[in-house]
Amino acid sequence: MSTIELSPAPAPAPRAGFLRSMPRHRKAMLLSLGALLIVSLVRVFTEADDLTSSGTVSATIRVSTPILLAGLAGLWAERAGVVNIGIEGMMIVGSWLGGWAAWHWGSWAGIGCAIVGGALVGLIHGVATVRFNVDHVVSGIAINILAAGTTEYLSIIAFKGKEGGGESQSPPGKKGFGSFDMPFLTGGNLGPWKTPDILGWIENKGIVLISDIAGIAKGFLSDLYLPTVLALALVPFTAWLLWRTRFGLRMRSSGESPQAGESLGVNIARVRYQALAVSGSLAAFGGAYLSCVLTNTYRQGQTGGRGFIGLATTIFGNWTPFGVLRGAVLFGFPEALRLRSDDAVMALFLVGAVALVLLSVRFFMKARVVQGVASLAVAALCVYTYDVVDAVPQNLVAATPYALTLIVLAAARQQLRPPAHAGMPWRPGENH
C-alpha cells in the first residue's frame, strides 16, 4: 500500500505595513501632515511663529522659483536622454536678455526675450549632442563658459555709460510686476473694496496645526506675482504632458531606450531637439525671473550657481515634476527663513531632533540598533545646539539645504531611478 506524502502548507505571506498598504497619494498626505504637526508643536513651544507664517511661505516661493525652473529644465533634458550641465549658462543668458529687454520695453518683454534666447541656446546644445554626438558634459560646460564671457562683453557694449547702468549691470527696467492677494481668503481687493482676510484671521489665532495650515495656504495665495503663478503651474502641466500624452511617451522613450523608440517610428532626434529647446526656455525663464521679477536690474553673477542647484533638485526629485518642486522648496526655505527670523532658524534644530527620535524608534523596531543609537546621538546634539548656540552663522544656514540634499540622496540612493539612457552616446539607426 503506497503512502501519500503531504507537502507542508505554505507559510502565510507577511502582512504589509500600514503605510505600505496605503495608496501613494494618501501616504504622502499622511506623512506631510505628520511633519507639519511636528513643526507646529515646535512653533508653539519655541514661539517661533515664522516657522510656518504666511510671510515665510510667500518668501520661500519667491526664492525657490528660479531653482524650480532650473530643476524643470534639467528634468525636460534628462527625460529625453540628454544631460544638460549648461543650465547655469542658459540662466545667465536669460538674466542678461531679461534685463536688457526690460530696460527697453518692460518686464514682460524681458521674460519673453529671455525664453526665446534660452530656446536658441538649448538648440545649440542639441546640435552639439544630438547631431555631432559631443559629450553632454563637455557641451554643457562650454555653454556655461561662453555664456559668462559673452554676457560680460555685451554688458560693456550695451550698458556702460548709460544712466543707472555699468560694466556689470543694466539700467533699471521699465514697469514691473505688481503683486496681488486672493479676495476674501487673504484680504485682496474686489474692485475698490477691501475683502476680509479669513486665512490671516485663522493664522493669528495660533491654533496647533490649523493655524499652520492657514498660514501656509495664505502664503501660497498672497503677495503673488503672475510669473510666479506661471512657474508653479508648469509643475502639474509638465506632469500631465510627460505621463498623459503621446508626446510625453515619445520623450520618455527617448531617455529610456532610444533604440526601442526609433524602431517604433519615433523621431528621436526631433524629440530631443524639442525637449532641449523647452529646457533652455525654462532655464532662461529662471534667469529672467531674477532680473525682471525679484529685481528690476541685471547684475553680473546674478544667478549665483542656481543652475547647478537646479540639477541637484532634478536628482533629489527623482526626475519627477512634483519631486523637483519639493527639492526647490527645500533649498529655498532656509534662505527665506533666515531673511525672516534667526530664532526660527534655531527652532529647526528642535524639528530635526524630534524627527530623528521618531526615526530611531523605527530603527529599533526593525532591530537596527546601530542606526537607532546614531539617530538618538544626533538628536541629542541638535537639542544641545539649540540650548547653547544663540545664533546660527549665516554661512551654515546657506549650506543647510546642500547638506540635507546629500543626506537624502545617500539615504534614498536605492529608490532613485534616472532615465536609463541619459547622457549616453546615441546615433540614429544604431543597435537595431
How far apart, in whole angstroms, are the C-alpha atoms of residue 75 and residue 422?
A: 11
pLDDT lower than 50: segments of the chain: 1-2, 14
Q: Is 284 helix (H, G, I), strand (E, B) or coil?
A: helix
CA distance 154 to 11: 73
Q: What is the pLDDT of residue 184?
A: 83
Helix %, strand %, coil % of the chain (to 5): 70, 5, 30
Tell me if residue 364 falls in helix, strand or coil.
Answer: helix
pTM listed for this prediction: 0.89
The pLDDT of residue 1 is 45
Residue 423's region, left for phi above 0, alpha for psi from -120 to 50, else beta, is: left
What is the predicted pLDDT for the residue at 314? 92
Angle at 364 between CA 360 and CA 366, to 5 degrees: 120
> SS3 for 363?
helix
Burial of 275 (0-12, 13-18, 19+ CB in 10 A): buried
Q: For residues 282 and 34, what is the distance between their CA atoms, to the nearest angstrom?
A: 33
What per-residue confidence (pLDDT) applies to 35?
85
Please give the backbone phi and psi of residue 84, each rounded to the nearest 5 degrees, phi first. -110, 85
The pLDDT of residue 270:
95
